[in-house]
Amino acid sequence: MSIKERIKELVVEWDSEGLKNYCQSILKKNDATASDLLKIIGDVMKFVGDQFENEDIFLPELIGSAETVKGVIDEVLDPAIRAAGEEKETMGKVVIGTVESDVHSIGKDLVGSFLFSNGFEVYNLGVEVTADQFITKAEEVSADVIGLSSLLTMSMDFQKQVIEELNKRGLRDKYKVIVGGSPTSEDWAEQIGADGWADDAIEAVELIKRIMKEG
Ligand code: B12
């Protein structure tokens, strides 16, 4: 059985301890890196999300899988990345969160973990984050980038609101603002005056590297 198949099995069985132990053993044997495992987990969650959409599974199963994944990211993969990256010089500071009224966390957490594993300092503000909270944190840590996640069509407008609030406070030029989440798009990013959009966590890393280079 491949690593991906085994992880998928543990995620759909909500075997949180089993998944943590399995990932720990993979890391110990050097069979994959923490970033490889994050990518696999992202793919598995996409699969679980599709199953939910097709009504092959229902809400409790979906939440069980999401919590299983959150446990392994928080307790095994992020610490492993942190330990490996201790010596790294920071690539830049990113404040990331899911916008006001939206509780979807998995995609944003994956983006945060990928950025972290690529040497960025990441401030993950969680979900239902207001414009003021994004800006206050960005000011506090002198962030380079603000990342706004939105999974609901209804919450996309809050991405726009953060940019408007930055403009109002005369801070827009201080930060690169990027947006993401399944209902968003390159066109949406352009429409609201964001600096970029990415479809997934891997593209998000490339995007940030590119826009930071552009200055
Ligand atoms: C899991 C899930 C939930 C879980 C969330 C658990 C959690 N802790 O996150 C729970 C059960 C809580 C939930 C609740 C709801 N959900 Co929901 N949920 C999903 C589901 C099935 C999967 C989302 C997910 O985690 N995908 C996996 C991750 C890896 O992918 P991702 O989030 O897209 O993230 C990737 C990219 O988008 C991108 N990305 C994400 N963020 C960012 C940020 C930046 C800056 C960048 C650059 C990139 C980026 O990179 C990520 C990694 O590759 C989707 C359907 C789907 N198939 O997407 C519905 C979905 C998003 N939910 C939906 C809805 C309607 C709801 C509810 C309103 C349901 C309800 N009636 O109560 C509530 C919302 C409550 C609220 N106020 O937010 C709708 C949204 C429709 C819409 N467009 O408005 C969807 C699309 C399902 C559907 N088809 O109806 N949900």
The mean predicted confidence, pLDDT, of the chain is: 92
Does the beta carbon of 62 lie inside 6 Å of ligand 1?
A: yes
Does residue 86 register a pLDDT over 60?
no
Residue 195 annotated in active site? no
Q: Which has more confidence, 137 or 34?
A: 137
CATH 3.40.50.720 fits 3-85, yes or no: no
Lowest mean pLDDT among 133-147, 180-194, 198-212: 198-212
Catalytic, out of 65, 78, 102, 117: 102
pLDDT at position 88: 52
The answer for residues whose C-beta is within 8 angstroms of residue 38's C-beta and 6 or more apart is 73, 77, 110, 113, 114, 117, 201
Mean pLDDT (whole number) for 56-66: 86
Contact 10, 23 (CB under 8 A): no
Q: Summarize pLDDT for 141-185 with one digit per residue, the tens.
A: 999 999 999 999 999 999 999 999 999 999 999 999 999 999 999
What is the pTM (predicted TM-score) of this model? 0.85
Residue nearest atom 38 of ligand 1, based on CA coordinates: 200
Here the tokens at position 121 are 């300092």
pLDDT at position 97: 98
Burial of 4 (0-12, 13-18, 19+ CB in 10 A): middle
Question: What is the Å distance from ligand 1's center to 107 Cα?
Answer: 8
Concatenated DSSP letters of 24-79: HHHHHTTSS-HHHHHHHHHHHHHHHHHHHHTTSS-HHHHHHHHHHHHHHIIIIIHH
Does residue 49 register a pLDDT over 70?
yes
Burial of 84 (0-12, 13-18, 19+ CB in 10 A): middle
- Annotated domain spans of the chain: 3-85, 93-214
What kind of architecture, by CATH, is found in domain 93-214? 3-Layer(aba) Sandwich (3.40)
pLDDT at position 168: 98
